[in-house]
């Protein structure tokens, strides 16, 4: 998938089909764990849209470009230039679609602290979001999807038949972040994601909202699976 490819009308016409389940929500709301589990259960392809932004952030940092907030105009120009230069392609590996650069998926590198702090900065850039949305929409060509992120049900696939928005109290999400060894501020990330001009973190009007504060992953998953079966008629 090149950065110059467009989202075709034929792809757009398929967005209403039961091929896409969206999963939005803030950091540490359980999107990743539950999306992967649901995709495996249904035989769908799992897509972590956040990993796509992380991969770009990793690549940009490797080029020696600073990604500190607020990002200067020169910084944005430098990032946009990388969108034209890097050789990135979505590839499916064991039922999961990842953005590979020059054939390589930096699975460990994109989970480091430097990338963690850079992601909300790079996600503010309009051209970056346009590029990512186009690549995410093209994923329908890979097969049926469960895609997680922050604007999947509102921007990427607004006509998806099943949309989830997962939530949890900020204090609990912060504990989850720290419990897995992270040092990101849930409040900082929430603020940056919910106030950006493009692709802001907000639930779709028709999203199924689930607050999983105090719930086990199994309890949340059971609720989600019930909704999927009701919406898609799967046994």
Whether 28 and 173 have beta carbons less than 8 Å apart is answered as yes
Per-residue confidence in pLDDT tens, the chain, 235 aa: 443 333 333 444 444 444 899 999 988 888 999 999 999 999 999 999 999 999 999 999 999 999 998 899 999 999 999 999 999 999 999 999 999 999 999 999 999 989 999 999 999 999 999 999 999 999 999 999 999 999 999 999 999 999 999 998 988 888 888 887 777 776 677 777 777 778 888 999 999 999 999 999 999 999 999 999 888 875 3
Tell me which DSSP letter residue 27 carries.
Answer: T
Which distant-in-sequence residues (6+ apart) come within 8 Å of 175 by Cβ? none
Domains present along the chain, CATH in parentheses: 17-230 (3.40.50.300)
| Helix H or strand E encompassing 131 | helix 126-138
* Residue 109 to residue 60: CA distance in whole angstroms: 13
Tell me which DSSP letter residue 146 carries.
Answer: E
């Amino acid at each position: 998938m090149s950065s110059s490819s467009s989202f075709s009308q034929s792809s757009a016409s398929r967005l209403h089909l039961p091929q896409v389940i969206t999963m939005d929500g803030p950091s540490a709301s359980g999107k990743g764990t539950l999306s992967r589990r649901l995709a495996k259960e249904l035989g769908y392809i799992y897509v972590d849209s956040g990993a796509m932004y992380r991969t770009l952030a990793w690549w940009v940092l490797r080029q020696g470009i600073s990604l500190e907030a607020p990002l200067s105009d020169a910084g944005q120009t430098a990032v946009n230039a990388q969108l034209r230069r890097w050789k990135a392609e979505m590839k499916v590996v064991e039922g999961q679609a990842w953005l590979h650069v020059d054939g390589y998926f930096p699975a460990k590198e994109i989970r480091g602290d430097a990338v963690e702090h850079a992601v909300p900065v790079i996600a503010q850039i309009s051209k970056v979001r346009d590029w990512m949305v186009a690549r995410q929409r093209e994923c329908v060509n890979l097969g049926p999807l469960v895609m997680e992120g922050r604007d999947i049900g509102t921007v990427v696939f607004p006509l998806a038949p099943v949309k989830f928005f997962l939530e949890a109290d900020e204090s609990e999400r912060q504990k989850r972040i720290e419990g897995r060894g992270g040092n990101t501020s849930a409040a900082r990330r929430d603020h940056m994601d919910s106030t950006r001009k493009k692709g802001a973190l907000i639930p779709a009007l028709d999203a199924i909202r689930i607050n999983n504060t105090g719930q086990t992953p199994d309890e949340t998953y059971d609720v989600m699976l019930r909704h999927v079966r009701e919406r898609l008629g799967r046994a």
